[in-house]
Amino acid sequence: MRGNAKAQGTSRIPHTTPGWEEPGRRRALFYGVAALLLAFLAAGLTYLYLEQIREQAMPGREAVVVASDLRPGAVIEPGMVMQVAVPEAVLPADAITDPAQALGRILARPVAERQILRLADFVGERGSSLSARLPEGHWAVVIPQGWFVAPLPQLQEGDRLDLLAYQSGRPIEDAGVIVQGVEIIGLGMNEG
């Protein structure tokens, strides 16, 4: 009985040696957090390295692009354009490279968001287009080949044509002269 009383009356004996579970949990948590931090650091350094290689591989220049879709007649204001780096291989020869070149000017054609602005996009700009070769006071018209009744002869720049209007089903004698001596200033290669 004495042994039973002693066992019932005594409390647990404290352990004087350290447990293996608690330090192991702390170490696992520490190593897990350290591994995550090192992984993020490695990913960030890899990204920076690859960006540096990309920039060196594709030399670029600054170009002005529009921030949102713009319609013809829009007057360019400071919030409408931004300057971005563009690979030199896709940069048009008449690209605008300074936002000041575009401010206050009027667009002659629609421009899509992030599209590079060119000098030819503006009203009154004499660029490399066909209309730039027109003398002052003259105008040009594009006439699709499908509008002609007869096949076109071999034309070249500088040739002159007379244009007649002809209504299908009517006698050819009813054809009327629209303009005479129209000078050919350019021939399109696109069909349709």
pLDDT of residue 191: 41
DSSP symbol at 43: H
CB 84 within 8 A of CB 99: no
Do 108 and 138 belong together in one domain? no
> What does the alpha-carbon distance between residue 109 and residue 107 come to, in Å, rounded to a whole number?
6
Do 134 and 173 belong together in one domain? yes
105-120, pLDDT tens digit by residue? 988 888 999 999 998 8
Q: Which domain holds residue 38?
A: 22-57
The stretch 12-40 carries a mean pLDDT of 79
pLDDT of residue 47: 96
In a domain, 14, yes or no: no
> What does the alpha-carbon distance between residue 116 and residue 113 come to, in Å, rounded to a whole number?
9
DSSP symbol at 15: P
In a domain, 9, yes or no: no
In a domain, 188, yes or no: no
In a domain, 46, yes or no: yes
Last residue of a domain, one of 97, 121, 145: 121
- pLDDT above 60: residue 8: no
Closest CA relative to residue 80, chosen from 109, 104, 108 = 104
In a domain, 91, yes or no: yes
> What does the alpha-carbon distance between residue 64 and residue 36 come to, in Å, rounded to a whole number?
41
Q: The tokens of 161 are what?
A: 């044509």
> What does the alpha-carbon distance between residue 36 and residue 32 come to, in Å, rounded to a whole number?
6
pLDDT of residue 16: 65
- How far CA 57 is from CA of 46, 49, 64, 83, 84, in Å, comes to 16, 12, 22, 21, 17
Do 46 and 66 belong together in one domain? no
DSSP symbol at 170: S
pLDDT of residue 27: 83
Number of domains in the chain: 3
Tokens 């968001």 -> residue? 113
In a domain, 7, yes or no: no
In a domain, 145, yes or no: yes
Handedness of CA 84, 88, 89, 94 (dihedral sign): positive
Q: Give the number of other CB atoms < 10 A from CB of residue 108.
A: 14
- Read off the CATH number of the domain in which 88 is found: 3.90.1210.10
In a domain, 147, yes or no: yes
Do 143 and 115 belong together in one domain? no
Please classify residue 92 by burial: count the beta carbons closer than 10 Å to its beta carbon, then call 0-12 exposed, 13-18 middle and 19+ buried. Answer: middle
Do 140 and 171 belong together in one domain? yes
Query: The whole model's pTM is what?
Result: 0.41
- pLDDT above 70: residue 127: no
Last residue of a domain, one of 121, 144, 167: 121
Last residue of a domain, one of 85, 100, 121: 121
The stretch 60-89 carries a mean pLDDT of 89
Model confidence at 48, pLDDT cuts 50, 70, 90, reads: very high
Do 135 and 168 belong together in one domain? yes
Do 141 and 161 belong together in one domain? yes
Do 53 and 67 belong together in one domain? no
Of all residues in the chain, the percent with pLDDT exceeding 70 is 76
